Amino acid sequence: MPKNFLMFASESMSASNPVEMPIETPPSDRESLRILIIGSRRGVTGTIQTLHRLRFAEVREWSPLLPAPNSGEVMSILTRYVMPE
């Protein structure tokens, strides 16, 4: 279950710089937009679940919990492809 996955994601996950993680090339008529949540494990997972209940994004669309720059914090990234204005 995605909820359990988020609640028990390993605290030892590492990434050299998660904000610079490669993302898929967007379709030619769209641009990529990344939405980032940073905070406590409970805060990040709770926000992801709230956004899911609001039909903003499926839980599985968010990245696994990643270490954040500040000690004791984690982050998760959602990538969306939008039409440029």
φ, ψ of residue 35 to 5 degrees: the values are -110, 125
The pLDDT of residue 2: 43
- Banded model confidence at residue 10, pLDDT cuts 50, 70, 90: very low
Q: Which residue has the tokens 């359990």?
A: 4
65 close to 13: Cβ distance less than 8 angstroms:
yes
Span 16-51, pLDDT tens digits:
555 555 656 767 788 889 999 999 999 999 999 999
Q: Which residue has the higher pLDDT, 11 or 63?
A: 63
How far is C-alpha 32 from the chain's CA centre?
A: 14
Query: What percent of the chain clears pLDDT 70, i.e. is strictly above it?
Result: 68
Task: Please tell me the distance from the alpha carbon of residue 66 to that of residue 41, in angstroms, as a whole number.
Answer: 10
